[in-house]
Amino acid sequence: MTKKTTVVVSVLLVLAGSLIALGLYNHSKKRVVDNRAMTQIRVGWQVPWAVEGQLTQVLKHTSVLADNGLVANFKGFSYGAPLNEAALAGDVDVIFTADQPAATLLAKNANWVIIGRLMYNRVSLFVPPLSPINSIADLKDKTVAMPFGAAAQRMALKAEKDAGLDPQKDVNNINLGIYEQSDLVRDPKATKWGKIDAMASFDPTPAIFEEKGLVKNLKVDKVVSVVMMSKDFIDKNPSTPDKFLSAFYRAYDFYRRNIEQVNQWFTEEA
């Protein structure tokens, strides 16, 4: 190789290196600008709740939010009542919730609005497999545990009234969270769970109990669930409801096409 050729090659290598470095810099700068341009959103969700939990996992594990210009911070809760507390405190911007806690939130704070329907989900009132209780009327003078503030509570209290019982006088209705229910319901030969005669809950918890032969149902019902967003957040980000619902629609489609994978994500966290 001649001295002239060596110089030319050296110049080309330096030039190529400079272009690569410049390209990397511009690419990095573009990512920073893109991140800053994206809307930050705090998502409140209920960890043990199917199918809402699967849809949240899709939002977490895929690019459906980023593709719509959103970056999410996910805040998990056990059920609707503590999620409402976070909404009232201004700790979340959008929430997934059932109709009962949604109605409660709307009654307490005019700053929240329903932007879309989430899904329909199942709620159940059940007793141990060997319980002598065979009807809701048999719950007179019994103790029924349920997550207060959840749609399952409304269903249970209505079922008691429909059976001719006064929920305030005839039944000892007590507050019990979803995770605490799972700790108690373990024996397929149980007649009671400690001092508790019956429970009310929402899927997948009672569905899992039922599949394992750990409960018998007294009442199964269906409730609607919704997506709610803070009006203050919407005022600052007017296009966000459409963007979020677009991402949510794609989350449903992704789940439909990848059920086993998404169910695994949900199981690992719930």
Clarify whether residues 107 and 129 are in a common domain: no
Clarify whether residues 113 and 232 are in a common domain: yes
pTM for the full predicted model: 0.75
pLDDT in tens, 60-113: 999 999 999 999 999 999 989 999 999 999 999 999 999 989 999 999 999 999
Clarify whether residues 12 and 92 are in a common domain: no
Residues of the chain with pLDDT under 50: 3-33
pLDDT reported for residue 270: 79
Clarify whether residues 183 and 193 are in a common domain: yes
Clarify whether residues 29 and 46 are in a common domain: no
> What does the alpha-carbon distance between residue 237 and residue 87 come to, in Å, rounded to a whole number?
17
pLDDT reported for residue 35: 57
Residue 16 belongs to domain spanning? 1-37
CATH of the domain at 145: 3.40.190.10
Clarify whether residues 230 and 210 are in a common domain: no
pLDDT reported for residue 29: 32
Clarify whether residues 150 and 218 are in a common domain: yes
Clarify whether residues 6 and 21 are in a common domain: yes
Q: How is residue 258 written in tokens?
A: 């990848």
Clarify whether residues 114 and 195 are in a common domain: no
> What does the alpha-carbon distance between residue 125 and residue 136 come to, in Å, rounded to a whole number?
9
User: CB neighbours of 23 closer than 8 A, spacing ≥ 6?
Assistant: none
Clarify whether residues 142 and 194 are in a common domain: yes
pLDDT reported for residue 230: 98
Clarify whether residues 115 and 236 are in a common domain: yes
pLDDT reported for residue 50: 86
How many domains does the structure of the chain reveal?
Answer: 3
CB 201, CB 124: distance < 8 Å: yes
What sign has the CA pseudo-torsion 63, 87, 116, 178? positive
Clarify whether residues 164 and 196 are in a common domain: yes
